[in-house]
Amino acid sequence: MTPAFDEWRVTDATLFQGALNDVYRPINVALAAQNAMQALGIRAPSGGAYVVPLFDGDDATLTDEYVLFRPEKEQVGWYDTSFGISGRERFVDCADAAGTEIGHRVQFWLRDDITPSDVSLSDDDRPPGELAPAEPYAVDESAVVDDLRAFVRTEKHAERSGARRAYRELGLDESIRRGETAGPFAFVGTTRDEMGDVAFTLQHVGDDTSLRRDAGLYPGNRCLLDARGGPSWLPLDAEAVSVETPHVTFRPLNPGIDDETLEHGLNETDAWLTTLLNPVPFQRRLDAIDAVAADDAKRELLAGTRPLGFTVNEHADYDPTPSLNDYQRRALVWADAAEDAVCIHGPPGTGKTRTLTAYVRYAATQGQRVLVAAHSNQAVDNLLVGDSTLHSPDPDSLHALSDDAGLSLARAGGNTKNAVVASEYANEPLEGADVVAATTSAAAAFDRNRFDVGVVDEATQASRSATAIVLECARKLVLAGDHKQLPPYSASEHDTDADAHASLFEFLLERYGDDLAVPLREQYRMHADIAAFPNGEFYDGLLETTDREESWTIGDLPPLRGVDVTGPERRDVAGNSYDNPAEADAVVEEVERLRANGLSSEGVGVIAAYTGQVRLLRQRLGDAGFSDVTVDTIDSFQGGEREAVVVSFVRSNDEHASGFLELPSEGPRRLNVALTRARKRLVLVGDWETLGTVATHRTPAESCADVYARLADHLGV
């Protein structure tokens, strides 16, 4: 690009408005527009035209106005104020604009010092012109839509039933101890809901807890109301009618309890509320499925029945900020070229977030309206601000790069817990923002095609029904994730390989093949020894380790270690999880070794396969003086990383039963997550005979014990 034009942004400009009259010396508008296209390569968001900035007319000063150029037809477009009642956008042949104000104001694009950009793309870097789905006529689109609706309803029922079952197993006292129920509440009176039925108002007793943000109570939630030593009809099903800290108003859902009996019971003791279900996200998914089903192009994409197109912008300046490696730049080119959807496969440590940041910045500076979405608030905020603090922005985040690019950012929804996002973006107006960030659920607030592109991070953890919300409000999708790691969460007990449970990312790969996914291959996270097993086992040798990571160590400790512990597993108090004291002792010993080698507690992560072991490890590490070490489940650690990670697999028994760790589909994906969180040292603690042997109640086809057996051989345990 010519340096004089570096600072011009289409996001700060408007389409030229006016009437055309021949009052100037004619110039070659087609050639001038061609030069602008080659120098800037700014493609109009609507497609089919390029943006041509206008000069002042009498000198080479760029203004904040532009016209559109269709190179294949040699036509120029603007908003003609003389056309119709209030004007309209229209195109004319470039020759017809030669002596008009448009010609006068594009004349400086004929200068000799304008330098065309050079895309310099090899054939390997270019996406295919079109990808056709497998057997499109064999897919019944109506059946696909019906299956997705049924799946959402099944998930809704399963989540409510599962929460009720978990509460029944724990009981009120254990739920309070674990912080899984809200309260105590005191009864303050009755009122009438919008249907005229009696509703009961409670007031939170004690601290200033936010009932929405901290306790997760929202209007419409289905809850269980319970009390210590309360009457026999407790716990009681209830629906939250309103939630305004410190008050919550509910209506009972048990028809057998009369209002007087309930009021008397509430006056006798403090009450506690346990959320069973928030129905809002499920209804949003159903609404999105219905909306997508009503649009032919969107329905066909959701069902995978139509070809997907790619058009490379031959005049684009693909020199993004932040800088990208060759694989990341290739992904940006594919994302820009996609007309419908593209998948960016980002294995651990390959710079997926950096790539998306560069693409979002590029697309927004090209005048495209961009939605950044993910399935969780944490993932959305990570893409928006990265590791930024209030006083120190992450230099590679959208937060840091937006000012330089002159972009406005806004965060939809009020559930962020990130201080930077809350301070800078949570209260910014959504209308007119160049980039809007939202969860997939919160994106339901936007109208159809409000955005030119919807970028979905961690897309492999979002169900097709959740991603349908983004599909409804965006013209095209850029899906980024890793389908070799954990799939979307499912509350129901269906086969997790079923299409309805799969992410849209994975479903599209099944329909269009791996050519739809552009891979990021160069990993910057793990020592080469840590990366070796997952690279061969899960990624077919796709990953390349940079020179820096090949020599990363903590003191003299080897980067990879396996510890074989044969210790009895135990069922926890509620009977729905496990712990293992012998493995807990081994984990504490490994943490002590890491600390003795100079690693801070913040640099250590401890992963346990079961929540029962998480609780035991937090207790044991706290007793040993390491209460500030992060301990969590494999699922909770997905997306995270630490200098060193210690993993406890927990299961140890004569039946070789490893539970969900052994499931043939999810088991390897969950193991992959556990193996790819550490940078410099990874310690794997387990009973390798239990893990590596098919359980007595399973067949080899029902087990992934062979993967653990290969890992044990790799570790030499």
Give the model confidence (pLDDT) of 262-307 as tens digits: 999 999 889 999 999 999 999 999 999 999 999 999 999 999 999 9
Q: Are residues 60 and 103 in the same domain?
A: yes
Lowest mean pLDDT among 106-115, 474-483, 620-629: 106-115
Residues linked to residue 503 through DSSP beta bridges, in sequence order: 463
| DSSP letter, residue 349 | T
The answer to whether 384 and 398 have CB atoms below 8 angstroms apart is yes
pLDDT for residue 490 is more than 90:
no
Task: Report how far apart, in Å, the C-alpha atoms of 581 and of each of 177, 470, 644 are.
Answer: 21, 45, 22
Domain count for the chain, please give it: 4
CA distance 152 to 468: 12
Angle, helix 666-675 to helix 528-538, in steps of 10 degrees: 170
pLDDT for residue 493 is more than 80:
no
| DSSP letter, residue 43 | B
Q: Are residues 708 and 560 in the same domain?
A: yes
pLDDT band of 616, cuts 50, 70, 90: very high
pLDDT band of 118, cuts 50, 70, 90: low
Question: Is residue 505 in some structural domain?
Answer: yes
- Locate 41 and state its tokens: 């390569």
pLDDT for residue 383 is more than 80:
yes
Of 227, 260, 278, which marks where a domain is finished? Answer: 278
Question: Is residue 183 in some structural domain?
Answer: yes
Angle, helix 464-473 to helix 296-303, in steps of 10 degrees: 150
The domain that holds 185 is classified in CATH as 2.40.30
pLDDT for residue 3 is more than 60:
no
> Residue 39: how many CB atoms within 10 A of its CB?
21
Domain that holds residue 620: 540-715
Exposure of 363 in the CB half-sphere (CA atoms within 13 A)? 33
**Strands in 552-711 per DSSP E:** 560-564, 570-571, 578-579, 604-608, 630-633, 642-648, 678-686
Helix (H) or strand (E) holding 663: none
- Locate 362 and state its tokens: 């590029």
Hey, is 322 helix, strand or coil? Answer: coil
pLDDT band of 170, cuts 50, 70, 90: confident
Q: Are residues 462 and 593 in the same domain?
A: no
Hey, is 435 helix, strand or coil? Answer: strand
Q: Are residues 263 and 313 in the same domain?
A: no
Q: Are residues 549 and 508 in the same domain?
A: no
> Residue 342: how many CB atoms within 10 A of its CB?
24
Q: Are residues 339 and 462 in the same domain?
A: yes
Per-range mean pLDDT, top range of 191-200, 414-423, 623-632: 623-632
pLDDT band of 86, cuts 50, 70, 90: confident
Give the residue-averaged pLDDT of 638-658.
94
If you search the block for the tokens 């029944």, which residue do you land on?
Answer: 168
Predicted structure pTM score: 0.87
Task: Quickly count helices (H) and strands (E) in the chain.
Answer: 21, 30
Hey, is 117 helix, strand or coil? Answer: coil
pLDDT exceeding 70 applies to what percent of the chain? 96
pLDDT for residue 589 is more than 90:
yes
The answer to whether 357 and 398 have CB atoms below 8 angstroms apart is yes
| DSSP letter, residue 88 | E
Question: Is residue 155 in some structural domain?
Answer: no
The answer to whether 615 and 600 have CB atoms below 8 angstroms apart is no
Question: Is residue 530 in some structural domain?
Answer: no
pLDDT exceeding 90 applies to what percent of the chain? 73
Give the residue-averaged pLDDT of 600-626.
95
Q: Are residues 244 and 352 in the same domain?
A: no
CA distance 361 to 407: 8
Give the residue-averaged pLDDT of 121-132.
88
Q: What rounded mean pLDDT belongs to the chain?
A: 91
pLDDT for residue 103 is more than 90:
yes
If you search the block for the tokens 């943006």, which residue do you land on?
Answer: 51
Give the residue-averaged pLDDT of 490-518.
80
Q: What is the pLDDT of residue 4?
A: 55
Q: What is the pLDDT of residue 94?
A: 96
> Residue 259: how many CB atoms within 10 A of its CB?
13
Q: Are residues 186 and 262 in the same domain?
A: yes
Q: Residue 222 class from Cβ within 10 Å (0-12 exposed, 13-18 middle, 19+ buried)?
A: buried
| DSSP letter, residue 75 | E
The answer to whether 319 and 360 have CB atoms below 8 angstroms apart is no
Q: What is the pLDDT of residue 178?
A: 85
Q: Are residues 198 and 254 in the same domain?
A: yes
CA distance 412 to 400: 19
Torsions phi, psi of 7, nearest 5? -90, -5
Per-residue DSSP letters for 385-430? HTT--SSS--TTSHHHHHHHHT--EEE-SS----HHHHHHTTTS-S
Task: Report how far apart, in Å, the C-alpha atoms of 313 and of each of 40, 366, 454 are.
Answer: 11, 12, 19
CA distance 276 to 165: 10
The domain that holds 403 is classified in CATH as 3.40.50.300
**pLDDT tens string 361-378:** 999 988 899 999 999 999
Give the residue-averaged pLDDT of 484-488.
92
The answer to whether 363 and 8 have CB atoms below 8 angstroms apart is no
Of 231, 261, 278, which marks where a domain is finished? Answer: 278
pLDDT band of 242, cuts 50, 70, 90: very high
Task: Report how far apart, in Å, the C-alpha atoms of 84 and of each of 81, 160, 187, 278 are.
Answer: 8, 57, 65, 51
Is the C-alpha dihedral spanning 145, 151, 154, 159 positive or negative?
negative
Q: Are residues 93 and 181 in the same domain?
A: no
Residues linked to residue 179 through DSSP beta bridges, in sequence order: none
Question: Is residue 432 in some structural domain?
Answer: yes
- Locate 677 and state its tokens: 């969180």
Q: What is the pLDDT of residue 22?
A: 86
Question: Is residue 43 in some structural domain?
Answer: yes
Question: Is residue 118 in some structural domain?
Answer: no
Q: What is the pLDDT of residue 116?
A: 64
Give the residue-averaged pLDDT of 577-592.
96
**pLDDT tens string 183-210:** 999 999 999 888 888 999 999 997 777 8
Question: Is residue 529 in some structural domain?
Answer: no
Q: What is the pLDDT of residue 494?
A: 46
Helix (H) or strand (E) holding 163: helix 141-177
Q: Are residues 168 and 256 in the same domain?
A: yes
Q: Are residues 337 and 457 in the same domain?
A: yes
Q: What is the pLDDT of residue 661?
A: 96
pLDDT band of 1, cuts 50, 70, 90: very low
Q: Is the N-terminal amide bond of 487 cis, ω within 30° of 0? A: no
